[in-house]
Amino acid sequence: MQTVSDTRLPRLLYLSDVPVEATVGGAALLYRLLQNYPDPLKILEPYRLQPPLEKRLPHIDYTTFYVGSDRLLHSRFTSLYQAYLLLIARSRSQQFHQLIQSFQPEAILTVVAGFSWLTAAALAQQFQLPLHLIVHDDYQDENLGWGMQNWLKHHLTKTYQYATSRLCISPYMVECYEQRYGAIGTVLYPCQAADSSQFPHVPDRPPSRTSLVFVYAGSINSQGYLAALITLASVLKNWNSQLIIYSQISEDFIERNGLNQSNITIRALLPVNQLILTLRHEADVLFVPMSFAERDRSNMELSFPSKLTDYTAVGLPLLIWGPAYCSAARWATENPGVAEVVMAEDREKLTIAVENLTDPAHRLRLGGQALHQGRAYFSHAAITQLFYQSIAKS
């Protein structure tokens, strides 16, 4: 097996609508993947998404470009404006010709999201450069009319087949996209941060502890996640237990959505190492909700919750609540003993799972298995090595 030192990596141009920053989700995935990239790297991203300096990769050149109007993207003209931006995305490659000639990339990396993956694909074809795709969410837009949806599928099929490498966030996405777009991809799970704290064992807990602390850390970007958090908090009252939520949400959001419960505490997201240490000290169970809503099915099935990378590094038991088809539940089923899993939208079954987790020995077993499987699946060294091998120059 090749090592990083003997893998010939290209001068890499990253061009995408997904920012590269130390936050959450896809942005954190990119940040970690490129965290120690040893060769020349240039990052192009929309100016409205430019991260603050402390969240950027150090010593890397970030350049911004204009994609479209935020105001129009969030107006009654959204679907029409999205269609327009998609249609002109390939032609916008012209504005980067001078940059290509000055930086002289040997490969282009993009994420299939938004609009600029089409621009990246056009540049790769025009300059005959290898194109490397990352797909972390199922890319479909039901807001577009049927004509534009067909147009989008046609161009994604061409781009997916043209790409030198196709890096999908789960094996379920690899399988689905091979059938849908006619090309084989590679599984590239999200990874832990290069400087993530590593622990040889689960945190110590007094066996007499009865009032448990459940924690959710991440975005609340769907009604399904919101409903799951509120239901869990309600169930936890039976044991005088509490739910702590680490998320960037406003007081108004908390009030409007019923998160102002007596046993819910809201805190701001913490940097990853501080979060892991805090969770080892204060939490008993880490919560992984997945949406049961039919409109969310595709992403629940094909994407993979990146929070599992940091959750498993903590060494605490996981409570996964989601449909049997969702990636988190399937991963837990394929790795028995890694989590308490509830695969029905059923409050009574969730209550039984919480009761199971009141057993200290059960929590200890689950936490140990989560720690072990986290090292096996989400190691920064292993995932980045796979990435390097995928984009390496022949």
Q: Is residue 337 one of the residues assigned to a domain?
A: yes
The per-residue pLDDT for range 8-48, each reduced to its tens digit, is 899 999 999 999 998 878 889 999 999 999 879 999 988 76
Q: Is residue 49 one of the residues assigned to a domain?
A: yes
Q: What end-to-end distance do the CA atoms of the chain give, in Å? A: 15
Residue 37 sits in which domain range? 4-191+379-391
200: its two tokens? 């040889």
Average pLDDT, the chain: 92
- The fraction of the chain above a pLDDT of 70, given in percent, is 95
The per-residue pLDDT for range 72-94, each reduced to its tens digit, is 888 888 889 999 999 999 999 99
What is the DSSP secondary structure assignment for residue 59, as one 8-state letter? T
Mean pLDDT of all residues in 212-229 = 91
- State whether 181 and 293 are in the same domain: no
Q: Is residue 203 one of the residues assigned to a domain?
A: no
Q: How many domains does the chain have?
A: 2
Q: Is residue 205 one of the residues assigned to a domain?
A: no
Q: Count other Cβ atoms within 10 Å, centred on residue 354.
A: 21
Q: Is residue 207 one of the residues assigned to a domain?
A: no
Residue 2: its pLDDT value, please? Answer: 47
Q: pLDDT band at residue 197, thresholds of 50, 70 and 90?
A: confident
- State whether 52 and 157 are in the same domain: yes
Residue 54: its pLDDT value, please? Answer: 80
Cβ–Cβ under 8 Å, residues 24 and 269: yes
Whether residue 393 has pLDDT greater than 80: no
Whether residue 1 has pLDDT greater than 50: no
Label residues 142-164 b or e (16+ Cβ within 10 Å = b).
eebeeebeeebeebbeebbeebe
Whether residue 117 has pLDDT greater than 90: yes
188 Cβ neighbours under 8 A, 6+ residues apart: 134, 167, 168, 169, 383, 386, 387, 390
- State whether 122 and 42 are in the same domain: yes
- State whether 98 and 234 are in the same domain: no
Residue 223: its pLDDT value, please? Answer: 87
Residue 178 φ/ψ, nearest 5 degrees = -65, -40
- State whether 116 and 232 are in the same domain: no
256: its two tokens? 């409007």
Residue 6: its pLDDT value, please? Answer: 55
- State whether 177 and 236 are in the same domain: no
- State whether 135 and 13 are in the same domain: yes
250/266 Cα distance (integer angstroms)? 10
- State whether 222 and 360 are in the same domain: yes
Give the domain CATH number at 331: 3.40.50.2000
Q: Is residue 44 one of the residues assigned to a domain?
A: yes
- State whether 110 and 218 are in the same domain: no
- State whether 360 and 384 are in the same domain: no
Least confident of 129-138, 205-214, 283-292, 340-349: 205-214
Place of tokens 């989700």: 25
- State whether 182 and 229 are in the same domain: no
- State whether 243 and 353 are in the same domain: yes
Q: Is residue 206 one of the residues assigned to a domain?
A: no
Cβ–Cβ under 8 Å, residues 332 and 384: no
